[in-house]
Amino acid sequence: MPTRNISLTDEQDAFVEKVVKAGEYQNASEAVRDALRVLQQRRREDALKLKALRVQIKAGVDALDRGDFVEVDDAELDDYLEGLTAPSDKPPR
């Protein structure tokens, strides 16, 4: 297993020491490896969210290109947005 020397802030070092002393990890290396796994997972999730956002943006741009949109005056904007988020009176299918 490769070895790396890393620098931690005092706060980070204290946290690693705390979780090791609490028995959550056997040593600092385990704690840091777990933190890296969490970082990797977060990056994967962020990439998926970005991909989904890009799909939604494309759908919105395509709708605009088709002319499929509603113009709302500034004075009516709050009511329009409220209508989008208000629960429907229709029963679920």
Mean pLDDT by 10 residues, the chain (93 residues): 94 98 98 98 98 98 95 93 81 58
pLDDT in the model for residue 80: 92
Euclidean distance between the first and final Cα of the chain, in Å? 56
Residue count of the chain, please give it.
Answer: 93
The pLDDT, as a whole number, for residue 91 is: 62
Q: Distance (Å, rounded) from C-alpha 84 to C-alpha 76?
A: 13
Q: Provide the pLDDT for residue 86.
A: 82
Please tell me the predicted confidence (pLDDT) of residue 93: 54
pTM above 0.75, yes or no: no
Residue 90 pLDDT? 64
Separation of alpha carbons 31 and 15, rounded Å? 10
